Amino acid sequence: MGERAVVEEGTRTEPEPGSMAELYARYVPGGIRLAFLLTGDRNRADDLAHEAFVRCVGRFAHLRAHRAFEAYLRRAIVNLHTSGIRHRYAERDWLRREGPRLARATASLPDVAGREDLWRALRTLPARQRAALVLRYYEDLSENDTAGVLGCSVAAVKSLVARGSETLRTTIAQGEDR
Amino acid sequence: MNDLDRDLRELFHDKAGSIDAAPAAPTDVLRRGRRRQVRTVFASSLAAVAALAIAVAVAARLSGGPNQIPVTNPPYGERIATIHGITVTAPAGWTLIDDWPVASLLPTTSQTCSFSATGSPIGPSPAGGSTSSEPVVQPSSSCTSEPMPLPAGIPVLQLANFGLPLDGTVCQVGDLRSVDLPADGVAAYVAAFPQGMTTQDFLAACPGGATVTTFADRGLTTSYAAVSLIGPDASPGDVAAVERFMNSLGGLRVPDDEPATASPGYVVAARVDGGTTWRLEAGFPFRGSGSGIGVTLVVTGAEGHETASTPAPTAEPNGQPTERTERLADGSGWLAWGTSSPLVSSITSVAPDGTRTPATLVPWPDGMRSLVGSDEATQLDGSIWYAIVTQLGQLQVGGGSSLAAAPEPLAVTALPYRVEGSATVANGSDLGHAWQLRAHGHTLDLRVDGSDAGGFTAAGSGRTACGRVDVSGGTFLLCVETADVSYVRVTADVSGEQPVADGRWMPAGDPPDGRAWIVALPGEGTGYQTESGGHPLAISWPSRAVPQPGDITSAGMTGAISWAIRWTDQACPVMEVVFSQVGDTGASSCLTPWNGSDPAVGGVYGQREASIILTGPEAMSCDLRDPSGSVPGVISGGTVAPVDGWTHTGQCVFTIPVGHTVTVRLTDQQGNPILGRRGQVTITADRGSLTLGSPATAP
């Protein structure tokens, strides 16, 4: 027998204020959208947001400000997305083989003709660069707040955004050349 | 706002708006959340009790009594630190302890639960392959939670004109060691009170308390209070210093942040340089690892938000000083810092232009000695060092002869370079060619004999990358590394005893973003590239369009292993594990190329762990999960070898400890599952073999 749905079909039940279900309803849909922008994959976004939510509610009794939940959830999602060293080594591995053959392209982005090109280019960015762009341009966080979420300095945020933007321009320019 | 900024904003909002996320929480997510809440309460209580009990027990064993450990005054100069938004000036010779991480250790509530549990055995669930090792519990209706009485609150910081042990407080806080106030002592103790406070109880918990000042966080959700403690024989100057600090707290609003570090620490140095508010904390940041002794840099950003560095241990394994760097906020230079062994008596940073900057060396705090065993106490005989430099350079150490005998690279050399715009440029002559290396951020270009020879941009690749440029007579290995990499070398043997060539470096661009390295590799060969702090990485040169037997076609490493794909004389590639932290090195049998339908698994199945390579379509993605939900390190992407039959074969590499099972989900470039209808497989590592949980081809 399957799980009983929290909200049964045809019945609209408002979650109890302050309950875990209410926290979910209030914050997790936005968290899934954020995670989708970070991962580009809806299933991974669901997994990421749900794991972050579970971790945050696990610590909820220790939070000193319940209204800070959204910020903690955002930070958890970004940290889960960018955590681990696999990115670095995956890149290192790839570049060992491909590095010498990579062409350098320094042309600036003439025009962003297709959003899908931009979306695809975003998917090639390292996790932290992509996260910095999403936090700055989607969440509209300041550089200070972005640094707080990413756990780095403001200078590092500036660098991540600059590098990410440069890579996007380069990638799209290369695509147009082809 | 430029075009790209605007396009990104529109794209993000369009894409986010296309996601229809239901507000109803899935049942399994709520269940996991409840389980995590119960587990957190128990785990944090146990961790705090265990940590405190161990600290107190060790101290008691060494000293014979919890309050009898003499701790000398720290020999540190004046420190100006901002801890959790509270700016404090510690006069020379005073103790300043950042206790705020105790907030993550000290339980603030006690919870009692009684519940009955039902569950299912570990194994695949019929619904979709997920596993569960935890019973389903319904704890909410049968748990009671009560605030723990903490009349002295949760410590945030302590300032004292006398020595304090790291696990001691001048007030009575739970099971922490209570330290008596000397007759000539003065101290200030700051604490958080999540459940409110009363001045009467606070003073009662802080014997010798004179005045109390209260303040709050910015959200006005947590009360904070500070108490000054003044001994009867305290000097007027010391009393005035404490009173100045107390007066500075009135009306303060501190950030509502979690602690940036994981454990309390002595503030051994703290200043503001180049717009960066920084402090070095000595303590036990490596909890559960060796002695745990280490030092951490904490930078306070705008509005009091803190960022902690990766801690540095007491010295590198080869006895050399550890080195970390932090760019100053105004771009005027760098804070270089680290630790050094007892054999080092002086450290000088020598910039590429010859500028010499002597570092300040300070000892480890005496108060840490009571918390380590006698065999570990010698680690505290070394130093913590720091220097403000305008350019990152090479460290020169002064010390005893034993240190000079420690192994070190043959010729780590800083290249003479010039600045052209925002690029750095160096010239040299190797392998019979005149070369010019130009670094512009993460772009490296090499000109050989006046012509463009190649280069690469580490764009989209994070902070580090290497590439090779083949010339007649050898190969130039070019790398962009972070500034803390102090050497790059290639050796013929994996143990690093037969050097082939050492790298030379210059700052990567102006302002520098790491270091650009060049290594001249003569002729043809295979070997291992090592850099400070890293594992050996297999390498062969020159690059060949068609690999020859013995050539390395790709290589990589995780935190656990270094692996390589080597082409064999059987016209097939094998996976070699050239380094393993648990010693399980070796080579696989021939790998299986992607046949369009079935991914394959191969690797080195050791006695302690299995190093596994999955082969499938090019650009496949591997998603790994262990039963606890965490994702082990995995490398995916790229092709195995540039040879027909292999050019469209992708790979994923990861390790599994023997006895563990992971669930692997493989998807192609379009996100489609490529492991049949269920799209996933379970892999269990046994001693010398694997057990697969769903169809796959096992060579």
Tell me if B11 sits within 8 A of A115, measured CB to CB.
Answer: yes
The model's pLDDT over B547-570, given as tens digits with 9 standing for 90+, comes to 888 888 888 877 678 888 888 888
**Do residues A81 and A22 both lie within one domain?**
yes
* Residue that has been written with the tokens 């290192």 in this structure: A92
Inside any domain, residue A161: yes
The pLDDT score that the predictor gives to residue B123 is 29
The pLDDT score that the predictor gives to residue B596 is 76
**Do residues A125 and A79 both lie within one domain?**
no
Contacts of B416 (CB under 8 A, 6+ apart): B352, B426
CB pair distance less than 8 Å for A4 and B456: no
pLDDT band at B89 (very low <50, low <70, confident <90, very high): very high
Which residues of chain B does A173 touch, with a Cβ-Cβ cutoff of 8 Å?
Answer: none
Q: Is the dihedral of CA A178, B3, B6, B10 positive or negative?
A: negative
**Do residues A115 and A170 both lie within one domain?**
yes
Inside any domain, residue A7: no
CB pair distance less than 8 Å for B36 and A54: yes
The model's pLDDT over A34-92, given as tens digits with 9 standing for 90+, comes to 988 988 877 778 888 888 888 777 665 444 445 567 888 888 888 877 763 333 333 33
Q: Tell me which residue in A64, A65, A97 faces B638 most closely, judged by beta carbons.
A: A97
Contacts of A175 (CB under 8 A, 6+ apart): A117, A121
**Do residues A69 and A113 both lie within one domain?**
no
CB pair distance less than 8 Å for B633 and A5: no
Inside any domain, residue A153: yes
Pick the range with the lowest mean pLDDT from A77-81, B148-152, B418-422, B529-533. B148-152
Inside any domain, residue A95: no
Chain-centroid distance of CA B16 in Å reads: 32
Q: Would you say residue B271 has pLDDT above 50?
A: yes
The pLDDT score that the predictor gives to residue B73 is 73
- Of the residues A53, A85, A117, which one is the last residue of a structural domain? A85
Q: What is the mean pLDDT of chain B?
A: 77
Q: Tell me which residue in B301, B462, B555 faces A96 most closely, judged by beta carbons.
A: B555
Helix (H, G, I), strand (E, B), or coil: what is residue B684?
strand
**Do residues A177 and A132 both lie within one domain?**
yes
The model's pLDDT over B7-53, given as tens digits with 9 standing for 90+, comes to 888 889 888 888 877 777 777 777 777 666 554 443 443 344 445 44
Tell me if A161 sits within 8 A of B453, measured CB to CB.
Answer: no
DSSP codes joined into one string, B597-638? S--EEEEEE-SSEEEEEEEEETT-EEEEE-TTS----EEEEE
**Do residues A130 and A72 both lie within one domain?**
no
Q: Would you say residue B536 has pLDDT above 50?
A: yes
Within 8-37 of A, beta carbons closer than 8 Å to B belong to 15, 20-21, 24-26, 28-30, 32-34, 36-37
pLDDT band at B6 (very low <50, low <70, confident <90, very high): confident
**Do residues A112 and A174 both lie within one domain?**
yes
**Do residues A75 and A120 both lie within one domain?**
no
Q: Would you say residue B639 has pLDDT above 70?
A: no
Burial classification of residue A22, based on how many CB atoms lie within 10 Å of its CB (0-12 exposed, 13-18 middle, 19 or more buried) = middle
pLDDT band at A5 (very low <50, low <70, confident <90, very high): very low
The model's pLDDT over B100-114, given as tens digits with 9 standing for 90+, comes to 877 655 554 444 443
Mean pLDDT for the stretch of residues B621-642: 64
The token pair at B204 is 């009662």
The terminus-to-terminus CA distance of chain B in angstroms comes to 56
pLDDT band at B250 (very low <50, low <70, confident <90, very high): confident
Query: In which domain, by residue range, is A158 found?
Result: 108-178
The pLDDT score that the predictor gives to residue B77 is 87
The pLDDT score that the predictor gives to residue B678 is 57
DSSP codes joined into one string, B65-92? STT----PPP----EEEEETTEEEEE-T
**Do residues A118 and A176 both lie within one domain?**
yes
DSSP B14: H
Highest mean predicted confidence (pLDDT) among A95-104, B411-420, B470-479: B470-479
pLDDT band at B68 (very low <50, low <70, confident <90, very high): very low
Comparing alpha-carbon positions, the chain B residue that sits nearest to A68 is: B256
The pLDDT score that the predictor gives to residue B126 is 33
Nearest-angstrom CA–CA distance, B283 and B294? 6
Q: Who wins on pLDDT, B518 or B43?
A: B518
Contacts of A17 (CB under 8 A, 6+ apart): none
Comparing alpha-carbon positions, the chain B residue that sits nearest to A137 is: B9
DSSP A102: P
pLDDT band at B70 (very low <50, low <70, confident <90, very high): low
Q: Who wins on pLDDT, B485 or B161?
A: B161
CB pair distance less than 8 Å for A21 and B303: no
The pLDDT score that the predictor gives to residue B118 is 33
CB pair distance less than 8 Å for B24 and A86: no
CA distance A166 to chain B (A): 8
The pLDDT score that the predictor gives to residue B496 is 75
Helix (H, G, I), strand (E, B), or coil: what is residue B135?
coil
Contacts of B148 (CB under 8 A, 6+ apart): B107, B108, B109, B110, B174
- Compute the residue count for chain A: 178
Tell me if B543 sits within 8 A of B535, measured CB to CB.
Answer: no
**Do residues A35 and A79 both lie within one domain?**
yes
Mean pLDDT for the stretch of residues B348-366: 87
- Of the residues A85, A116, A136, which one is the last residue of a structural domain? A85
Mean pLDDT for the stretch of residues B349-377: 83
Q: Count of CB contacts below 8 A, A vs B?
A: 252
The model's pLDDT over B380-400, given as tens digits with 9 standing for 90+, comes to 888 999 999 988 877 887 754
Q: What is the mean pLDDT of chain A?
A: 68
How many helices, marked H, and strands, marked E, lie in chain A?
Answer: 8, 0
Q: Would you say residue B277 has pLDDT above 50?
A: yes
pLDDT band at B458 (very low <50, low <70, confident <90, very high): low
pTM: 0.43
As a whole-number percent, the residues of chain A with pLDDT over 90 amount to 11
The pLDDT score that the predictor gives to residue B313 is 87
B443 close to A (CB below 8 A): yes
The pLDDT score that the predictor gives to residue B637 is 54
Inside any domain, residue A98: no
Inside any domain, residue A91: no
The token pair at B123 is 């194994």
The pLDDT score that the predictor gives to residue B634 is 59
Tell me if B284 sits within 8 A of B293, measured CB to CB.
Answer: yes
As a whole-number percent, the residues of chain B with pLDDT over 90 amount to 19
The pLDDT score that the predictor gives to residue B194 is 77
Give the domain CATH number at A159. 1.10.10.10
The pLDDT score that the predictor gives to residue B629 is 53
**Do residues A81 and A146 both lie within one domain?**
no
* Amino acid at residue number B125: S
The model's pLDDT over B197-210, given as tens digits with 9 standing for 90+, comes to 888 889 999 988 88
Nearest-angstrom CA–CA distance, B511 and B453? 25
The model's pLDDT over B119-142, given as tens digits with 9 standing for 90+, comes to 333 323 333 333 333 333 333 334
Q: For residue B101, which of B373, B343, B287, B234 has the smallest C-alpha distance?
A: B287
Tell me if B655 sits within 8 A of B558, measured CB to CB.
Answer: yes
Q: For residue B483, which of B301, B635, B342, B328 has the smallest C-alpha distance?
A: B328
Inside any domain, residue A5: no
The pLDDT score that the predictor gives to residue B533 is 67
Which residues of chain B does A58 touch, with a Cβ-Cβ cutoff of 8 Å?
Answer: 33, 36-37, 39-40
CB pair distance less than 8 Å for A94 and B299: no
CB pair distance less than 8 Å for A88 and B513: no
The model's pLDDT over B209-247, given as tens digits with 9 standing for 90+, comes to 888 999 988 877 788 999 999 999 999 999 999 999 999
CB pair distance less than 8 Å for A111 and B556: no
Nearest-angstrom CA–CA distance, B602 and B604? 7
CB pair distance less than 8 Å for B21 and A33: yes
**Total of domains in chain A:** 2
Q: What is the largest CA-CA distance in chain A?
A: 61
The pLDDT score that the predictor gives to residue B679 is 64
Tell me if B366 sits within 8 A of B338, measured CB to CB.
Answer: no
Which residues of chain A does B14 touch, with a Cβ-Cβ cutoff of 8 Å?
Answer: 115
Q: Would you say residue B614 has pLDDT above 60?
A: yes
DSSP codes joined into one string, B631-673? ---EEEEEES-SSTTTTTEEEEEEEEETT-EEEEEEE-TTS-B
Backbone angles phi, psi at B623, to 5 degrees: -115, 115
- Of the residues A24, A51, A85, which one is the last residue of a structural domain? A85
Which residues of chain B does A124 touch, with a Cβ-Cβ cutoff of 8 Å?
Answer: 460
The CA distances from residue A103 to A106, B442, B455, B481, B663, in Å, are 10, 13, 8, 20, 38
Which residues of chain A does B458 touch, with a Cβ-Cβ cutoff of 8 Å?
Answer: 95
CA distance A75 to chain B (A): 12
Q: Would you say residue B87 has pLDDT above 90?
A: yes
pLDDT band at B319 (very low <50, low <70, confident <90, very high): low
B462 close to A (CB below 8 A): yes
**Do residues A24 and A68 both lie within one domain?**
yes
Nearest-angstrom CA–CA distance, B271 and B188? 20
Inside any domain, residue A123: yes
The pLDDT score that the predictor gives to residue B278 is 96
- Compute the residue count for chain B: 699
The CA distances from residue B549 to A41, B95, B337, B546, B602, in Å, are 40, 63, 45, 10, 20
Within 139-158 of A, beta carbons closer than 8 Å to B belong to 144, 147-148, 151-155
B559 close to A (CB below 8 A): yes
Nearest-angstrom CA–CA distance, B621 and A43? 13
Tell me if B103 sits within 8 A of B192, measured CB to CB.
Answer: yes
Chain-centroid distance of CA B247 in Å reads: 37
